[in-house]
Each structure stands twice: as structure tokens, then as C-alpha cells.
Amino acid sequence: MEVIAQHGHILLILACVFGFFMAWGVGANDVANAMGTSVGARALTVKQAIAIAMVFEFAGAYLAGGEVTATIRKGILDPTALDGSPELLVYGMISALLAAGIWLLIASMAGWPVSTTHSIVGALVGFAAVGISVDAVNWGKVSQIVASWVVSPVLAGVISFGLFMSVQRLIINTATPFENAKKYVPYYIFAVGFMIAMVTLLKGFKHIGVAVDYGFESKFANALPTAALVGLVVAGLGILLLRNIKVEPVDPSQNRFVNVEKVFSVLMIFTACAMAFAHGSNDVANAIGPLAAVVGVIKNEGVIVAKSALPNWVLLLGAAGIAIGLATYGFKVMATIGRKITELTPSRGFAAELGAATTVVFASATGLPISTTHTLVGAVLGVGMARGIGALNLRVVGTIFMSWVITLPAGAALAILFFFFFKGIFG
């Protein structure tokens, strides 16, 4: 209590700086998960991808980022184990932010698409188990999160595989693929708008005091009409854009589906927005969850409360950090990730992005902090598998898996080091 009273302002400033640094790392590294497929499929340029991602990552983080934050903030550590020494929680959260931020900086400079969720969860578990006690970790919640790292890529892979097979059945393997593309793509665009609207209405607006009420008993039923309307508006916008696409003569050396892929390039603009929104809603928690915990302890003068309101300025800080990370360093990973695992076209990229976005937004709605990296890699693998195992670059897949394995111990080791450093300075 004495440390909080004496050094509370300094600790809060450090938490804000390191929280912003961590958010910057999320933007710089995880942008590949949100936008790499669009760039790899050549549906968007790097500059266009960054511009779209900045807007929708920010919107996802601010409007729908509160739910997963609660899991990162309260679910992984047991607050009762720290009742007598709240300063240890503050040192730990600051250490976790700095450790994960440094690891993300190293990974981004090397061009490794690592998991920001792995980084922060590993850091939190590391400082708590070594610096406090093994009992301070909620191992039940940690095992749930670890299980989600396996479940999420498998689920995203299955959804993406199904989506791409539906594209092949309805459009590509037909007598008139271009006409069928213009016919069915608006339905896919509707699904994108509807899905994002549903998750935002059900979970996102809660922390900013906005509610949709049509008089139905369930929240789900109240969200349906508005989400359907949003889906129709988004589909209408897509139809307007599709009208400008005309059939052009195809050179024999070109892909015979080049006109069809132009239709899917329009669709990928919408799925890219959805993926960026989904990514912001899920991954902002990695930066602001620990920051929110520090704010709660200092605001309550050292009392660790089970539940506290998430201040809007904390979400804004995380959202701004992600946007700046995208703009300043995101291009490095994004320019390569979309082309390394498997060859992507707009139709394949669409299936991967919508499959991954669907998985991430529903995880965000249930409060489970899954790894966007795992989810998107699983989705891209699912699309690749639809064309056979030979379509995958297994060497690159192996390297990505190795970088995931290193991330957990790296985050934990750095967090333990910084925890004892801050404890020595302020303790």
C-alpha cells in the first residue's frame, strides 16, 4: 500500500508508456494477420491495406475490445493471492507489457509473424509463477487459452476450407463463372457485414453505454434487425462496386479465371475490413489488459477489486498504439506473409480472411483471447489444403511454428527479469 501511495503516479506513467509500446508491437507485427492475405492476393497495395487497417483496427479495438480485455486483466491471475501486496501485481503487469513489447519489436525486425497473445500470456504466467507463487496463476483459465491456440486454427481452417469449396461449387466449377461470381458475391458481402455488426452489437458497445433494444426478450434477438440492416447496406455498396467490373478478353497465358478474380478483389476489400476489425477487437486486450489492471489498483489506492470499469482512455491508448504500429512498421511482415505459406488469389484470400475473421470475432464475443496469428495461418492452410498438400510451402510453415514455440518462453523469461528489476527499484 505504501509503495502505491508513494510511487503510484510514476508506476501509472510507466504502465501507460509500456502499454502503448506493446500496442505498437501488436500493430507492427499482427498487421500481417489482418491484411497480409489481401496484399498477398494483390487485391490491395501495401499503402491501401495500411489505410484500411488503421481505420478498422482502431474501430474494432475501441468498439469491441472490452470483452477480451477482462480475460487478460482478471482471468489469468488470481487476485486473492496478491491481496496483501498490490504493488507486486503492478510490477508484474508493467514487466509483462515491457517484456512482450520488446519481444514483438525483435520479431517484427526479423520479419517473424509471432503471436502477440502468446507473448503477453507467457509474460503474465512467467512473472506470477516465479515472482509470486505458482498458486497465483489461474491454471484452469490458462489451460483454456492454450486449448484455444489449437482449436482456433483448426476451426478457422475448417471454415475457410468450407468457404473455398462453396466458391468452387457455386462459381469456379460452373459453365458461367463470371456471371455466377456477380450473382453470389453480394451474399458473401452480406455475411461479412452481418457478422461484424452482430458481434459489435452483442458485446462491443457494452463499455461505452450504447444498447440496441427493439423490445425482444433476448439481446441476440434485439441485435438481429440492426445487423441484418447493416449487412444489406454493406451488400448494396458491394453491388455498386461490382457494376463497374466488365468482362475483358483473357490472354491464353493468363489464369482463365482472371475476370472472376477481379470480382473477388472487390469482396476482399470487405473481408479485409472485417479481419482488421476482428483483429483490433481481440488483440487490443494484449496491450491494455495489464494496463487496465494497473489503473484499477492505483485508482483504488492499492485495493485489488474483482471487477472495475474499463476507462475509455485506456481503450483509446491501445487503439492508437495499434494504428501507429501499423503505419510505421507493419509493412515489413505484411509484404511477405501473404505470399509465403501458399499462393493466394483473391478467391482464396477471401475464404481465408472471412474464415479467420469469423473465428476471431466469435472468440472476442466469448472473451477468449485466441491468437490471431494461429487463426489466420490455420485459415490459409485450410485454403491451401483445398488444393492439396503440394500447394503448401511446408518449410515456411515449419519456421512459423518454431517462432511460435520460442515466443512463450521468451516472453516469460523477459517478464521475470523485469519483475525483479522493478521490485528492486521500488520495493
Q: Please, are residues 199 and 361 in contact by the beta-carbon 8 Å criterion? A: yes
pLDDT, position 73: 53
- The DSSP output letter for 217 is S
Residue 175's beta-bridge partner residues? none
The answer to whether 116 and 340 are in contact (CB under 8 A) is no
Nearest Cα neighbor of 52 from 376, 267, 260, 277 is 277
Residue range 47-55: average pLDDT?
85
pLDDT recorded at residue 109: 85
- Identify the residue with better confidence: 7 or 219: 7
Determine the residue type at 323. A
Nine-digit cell string for 90: 503492478
Highest mean pLDDT among 68-82, 85-99, 365-379: 85-99
Q: Does residue 426 have a pLDDT over 80?
A: yes
Q: What is the pLDDT of residues 200-218, one digit of tens each?
A: 776 555 555 556 666 677 7
Q: How confident is the model at residue 68 (pLDDT cuts 50, 70, 90)?
A: low
- Banded pLDDT at 410 (limits 50, 70, 90): very high
List the single range of 177-191, 213-227, 260-274 with lowest mean pLDDT.
Answer: 213-227
Per-residue pLDDT, 338: 67
pLDDT tens for each residue of 246-299: 887 777 666 668 888 888 888 888 888 887 887 787 777 788 888 888 888 888
Average pLDDT of the residues in 353-357: 84
Q: For residues 105-114, give the mean pLDDT.
A: 83
pLDDT in tens, 14-41: 999 999 999 999 888 877 667 778 888 8
Residue 345's pLDDT is 84
Task: Give the per-residue pLDDT at 412.
Answer: 92
Name the nearest CA neighbour of 160 among 353, 306, 392: 353
Ordered by start, the domain boundaries in the chain are 2-426
Instruction: Report pLDDT for 210.
Output: 58
Q: How confident is the model at residue 43 (pLDDT cuts 50, 70, 90)?
A: confident
Give the residue with greater pLDDT, 212 vs 120.
120
pLDDT score of 205: 59
**What distance in Å separates the CA atoms of residue 217 and residue 238, rounded to the nearest whole number?**
33
